[in-house]
């Protein structure tokens, strides 16, 4: 028996295609069916790599009796939260408001209009520890709907009215309680709101946020707070930027403590590279084994920046392993990156990754096995379940060549084991994060294959995910006429995801536009290809035109692409970071970079306004606003601009470009290109000899930073400006390094 999910493009939904549950996808048809039958909807939200989603599916959705009751009393809707973050955000806010906690799987019962009236997360098949069984919940909801409809309607009305109230700041505790191994660090999104004072971005604000952060620091094991521990990627990026801007040694020490602890722990795959979603303990030893693209993209960038600042060999090893893992295990045939690898292998959590001493001996022989067991902490008692151990690396090996040989043999054997499932949909936002990380890491560590992978992923995004905005009649949709320094880029639209090269139907949300723009701008800095700046400008134009919330920030959905069911409740808007940067903070960062490249005051002012709300959160809850704090460091440091002018095949150009890219200054933007041709010498079609290759637009046509910047005495030159004041151009990489603080 199959259900209608067989036609879905979502791998997560297709996992449920053989359930006896009569699943519907989210959409008008499901709500129409609920109205026709006069029954509530049961909305089940999860994602492919979620361990407890799989557990609940096996226990309940594959059970014939449970499915029969669900089919008789509800219209059952399955939602992939990674494809529909808007649906997830609104119903997660309701779940947190009603239960005080959130997580996945999320189980929401709604009226036929989509208003939630009962919410929960994982429900077991039998009552346990005070948690009702799923059959009990189903029976109770069905009975209430049939016999106490007035109570149900009253609850739904209360929730709808609460959603309609003005938004407020975060609740006192920034970390929402969570359950079942899928927590989401966030602020309370449901509290009613009062107007907040203007936010002044200065060192006093950042000092207050830092002081608050250090209160939660785990000074023994690294990280912040207790178990479970998630990689604090955005906070680590902030700390590294703060050290680069201010020289504050304390911030580097805090960042390095956590970066090293994670790199040596079981959360880091010591054999294959990459990081798991989180550690279940305070010591980073035992992971929850799913591997997410967004975590690894963010961590790749952070570890690359750590290496840039310090030259740490451990950072170099982590960067190499993580980038190579991305290309080996997550890259799709179309050139993008898949979303995740499951936590489970054939129903057993972590089975692919754990070892016993006997297994080491079978692969390595007695001598190497004993050495490897001591190095990787593989013990007879085990550090995980059933006597198995998760490899860790608490100390560096005394023989690097031997360690490399051991890793290679163990990884080769591991490849013969059953492997976790892969969710191969290509999500715009997360691929944007990967483009930025691979481009920067490739430039820093001289790995052109990583840069090539970033170009391939960006090309897929532009070719398959991006389209012109047909609703925009001209370049002045918003009523703001661009100046000569504000390019009138054609507004572009973006879909959320694709699979097998086929774009999905779900519209992109704010984080998609912001993260893809950020990735394209990072790629332009590395390649000198002006088309990436053009596309970033088009995406950011849509952000400015379609997403503003009227208070200086942005909604998470475009004004003409907000789901009508959600619009009746609340247009999604979340300025706080989750596992990834908030869309608003990411938009602020991309807008700021674009402004520095183009001289656009409109984009810079929009970035400053967008930072206000997340920075108000940061003062009390810095772990929920790490990316906004990182962008604030760039704002205070910049604008700091380097234009490298010279032929792409000139060693002098490459040397200056390399120095510029290796500067840790957080407010720095880099543009590289050939000296501009005179206007009468330009090809009629705008073609160029830009470094990225034939057909790319002249970068100086897109980036005013490169205009009127000639060679110096016929040699490649770097032009450095800061705070709208420019130094004399230099042809010396050593002099440029001294100016930029490049190691």
Which CATH number characterizes residue 69's domain? Answer: 3.40.30.10
> What CATH number should be reported for the domain holding residue 646?
3.40.30
Residue 351: the pLDDT is 96
| Tokens 């190497």 -> residue | 368
Asked whether residue 57 is domain-assigned, the answer is yes
Asked whether residue 502 is domain-assigned, the answer is no
Asked whether residue 448 is domain-assigned, the answer is no
Do both 278 and 363 map to the same domain?
Answer: yes
Do both 265 and 387 map to the same domain?
Answer: yes
Do both 671 and 718 map to the same domain?
Answer: yes
Query: Of the candidates 581, 557, 535, 231, which has an alpha carbon nearest to the alpha carbon of residue 430?
Result: 581
Q: Is 273 left (phi over 0), alpha (psi -120 to 50) or beta?
A: left
Do both 350 and 411 map to the same domain?
Answer: yes
Question: Which is it for strands 348-349 and 640-645: parallel, antiparallel or unpaired?
Answer: unpaired
Give CA–CA dist 100/89, Å, rounded: 15
∠ Cα 77 67 88 (to 5°): 25
Do both 145 and 223 map to the same domain?
Answer: no
Residues of the chain with pLDDT under 50: 169-197, 474-488, 682-696
Which of the listed residues 423, 444, 471 is the one where a domain comes to its end? 423
Give CA–CA dist 426/96, Å, rounded: 29
Asked whether residue 707 is domain-assigned, the answer is yes
| Tokens 């994060």 -> residue | 433
Do both 143 and 211 map to the same domain?
Answer: no
Do both 219 and 313 map to the same domain?
Answer: yes
Which of the listed residues 389, 423, 457 is the one where a domain comes to its end? 423
Do both 267 and 402 map to the same domain?
Answer: yes
Asked whether residue 335 is domain-assigned, the answer is yes
Residue 424 Cα distances to 94, 395, 510, 537, 629, angstroms: 29, 35, 22, 28, 32
Q: Which residues touch 454 (CB under 8 Å, ≥6 apart)?
A: 434, 435, 436, 438, 439, 442, 519, 523, 526
Residue 677: the pLDDT is 62
Query: Of the candidates 169, 109, 3, which has an alpha carbon nearest to the alpha carbon of residue 13?
Result: 3
pTM for the whole thing? 0.91
Give CA–CA dist 477/489, Å, rounded: 11
Do both 22 and 153 map to the same domain?
Answer: yes
- Other CB atoms within 10 A of residue 682 CB: 15
Give CA–CA dist 557/571, Å, rounded: 7
Do both 268 and 400 map to the same domain?
Answer: yes
Please state the domain count of the chain: 3
- Answer whether 271's CB lies under 8 Å from 249's CB: no
Asked whether residue 615 is domain-assigned, the answer is no
Domain of 306, in residue numbers = 203-286+300-321+328-423
Query: Of the candidates 697, 668, 537, which has an alpha carbon nearest to the alpha carbon of residue 602?
Result: 537
Asked whether residue 454 is domain-assigned, the answer is no
Do both 220 and 87 map to the same domain?
Answer: no
Residue 451 Cα distances to 440, 463, 522, angstroms: 8, 18, 11
Do both 312 and 409 map to the same domain?
Answer: yes
The string of pLDDT tens digits covering residues 326-338 is 999 999 999 999 9
Reduced to 3 states (helix: H, G, I; strand: E, B; else coil), residue 595 is helix
∠ Cα 517 520 522 (to 5°): 110
3-state secondary structure 279-307: ECCCCCCCEECCEEHHHHHHHHHHHHHHH
For the CA atoms of 448, 454, 459, 465, what is the dihedral angle to 10 degrees? Answer: 180
Asked whether residue 631 is domain-assigned, the answer is no
Which of the listed residues 147, 164, 181 is the one where a domain comes to its end? 164
The string of pLDDT tens digits covering residues 248-293 is 999 999 999 999 999 999 999 999 999 999 999 999 999 999 999 9
């Amino acid at each position: 028996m199959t259900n209608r999910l067989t036609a879905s493009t979502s791998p997560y939904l297709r996992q449920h295609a053989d359930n006896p549950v009569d699943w519907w996808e989210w959409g008008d048809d499901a709500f129409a069916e609920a109205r026709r039958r006069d029954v509530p909807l049961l909305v089940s939200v999860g994602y492919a790599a979620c361990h407890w989603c799989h557990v609940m599916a096996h226990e309940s959705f594959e059970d014939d009796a449970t499915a029969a009751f669900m089919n008789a009393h509800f219209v059952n809707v399955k939602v992939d939260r990674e494809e529909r973050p808007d649906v997830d955000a609104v119903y997660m806010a309701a779940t947190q408001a009603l239960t005080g906690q959130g997580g996945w799987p999320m189980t929401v019962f709604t009226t036929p209009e989509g208003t939630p009236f009962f919410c929960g997360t994982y429900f077991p098949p039998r009552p346990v520890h005070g948690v009702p069984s799923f059959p009990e919940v189903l029976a109770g909801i069905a009975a209430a709907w049939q016999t106490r409809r007035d109570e149900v309607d009253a609850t739904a009305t209360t929730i709808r009215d609460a959603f309609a109230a003005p938004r407020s700041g975060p609740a006192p505790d920034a970390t929402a309680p969570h359950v079942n191994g899928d927590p989401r660090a966030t602020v309370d999104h449901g509290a009613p709101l009062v107007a907040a004072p203007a936010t002044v971005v200065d060192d006093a604000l950042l000092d207050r946020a830092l002081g608050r952060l250090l209160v939660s620091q785990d000074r023994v094991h690294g990280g912040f707070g207790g178990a479970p521990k998630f990689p604090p990627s955005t906070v680590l990026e902030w700390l590294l930027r703060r050290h680069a801007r201010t020289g504050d040694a304390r911030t580097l020490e805090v960042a390095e403590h956590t970066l090293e602890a994670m790199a040596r722990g079981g959360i880091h795959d010591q054999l294959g590279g990459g990081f798991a979603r989180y550690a279940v303990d305070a010591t980073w030893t035992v992971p929850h084994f799913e591997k997410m693209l967004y975590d690894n993209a963010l961590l790749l960038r952070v570890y690359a920046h750590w290496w840039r600042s310090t030259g740490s060999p451990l950072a170099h090893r982590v960067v190499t392993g993580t980038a190579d893992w991305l290309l080996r295990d997550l890259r799709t045939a179309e050139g993008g990156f898949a979303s995740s690898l499951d936590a489970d292998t054939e129903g057993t959590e972590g089975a692919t990754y754990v070892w016993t001493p006997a297994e080491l001996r079978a692969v390595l022989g007695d001598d190497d096995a004993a050495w490897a067991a001591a190095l990787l902490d593989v013990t007879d008692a085990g550090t995980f379940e059933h006597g198995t151990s998760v490899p860790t690396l608490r100390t560096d090996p005394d023989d690097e060549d031997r360690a490399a040989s051991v890793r290679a043999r163990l990884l080769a054997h591991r490849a013969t084991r059953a492997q976790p499932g892969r969710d191969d949909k290509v999500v715009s936002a997360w691929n944007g994060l990967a483009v930025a990380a691979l481009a920067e890491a490739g430039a820093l560590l001289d790995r052109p294959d990583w840069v090539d992978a970033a170009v391939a992923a960006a090309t897929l995004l532009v070719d398959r995910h991006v389209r012109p905005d047909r609703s925009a009649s001209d370049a002045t949709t918003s009523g703001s006429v661009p100046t000569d320094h504000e390019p009138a880029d054609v507004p572009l639209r973006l879909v959320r995801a694709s699979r097998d090269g086929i774009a999905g139907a779900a519209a992109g949300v704010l984080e998609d536009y912001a993260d893809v723009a950020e990735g394209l701008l990072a790629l332009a800095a590395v390649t000198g290809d002006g088309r990436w700046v053009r596309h970033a400008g088009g995406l950011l134009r849509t952000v400015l035109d379609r997403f503003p919330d009227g208070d200086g920030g942005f909604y998470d959905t475009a004004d003409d692409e907000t789901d009508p069911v959600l619009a009746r409740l609340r247009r999604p808007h979340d300025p706080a970071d989750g596992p990834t940067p908030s869309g608003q903070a990411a938009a602020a960062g991309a807008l700021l970079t674009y402004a520095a490249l183009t001289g656009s005051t409109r984009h810079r002012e929009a970035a400053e306004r967008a930072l206000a709300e997340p920075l108000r959160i940061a003062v009390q809850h810095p772990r929920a606003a790490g990316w906004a704090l990182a962008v604030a460091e760039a704002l205070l440091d910049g604008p700091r601009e380097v234009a490298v002018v010279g032929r792409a095949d000139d060693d002098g150009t490459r040397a200056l470009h390399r120095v510029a890219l290796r500067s840790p200054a957080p407010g720095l933007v880099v543009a590289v290109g050939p000296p501009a041709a005179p206007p009468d010498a330009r090809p009629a079609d705008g073609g160029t000899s830009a470094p990225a290759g034939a057909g790319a637009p002249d970068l100086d046509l897109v980036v005013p930073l490169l205009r009127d910047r000639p060679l110096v005495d016929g040699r490649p030159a770097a032009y450095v400006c800061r705070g709208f004041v420019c130094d004399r151009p230099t042809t010396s990489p050593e002099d440029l390094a001294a100016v930029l603080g490049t190691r």
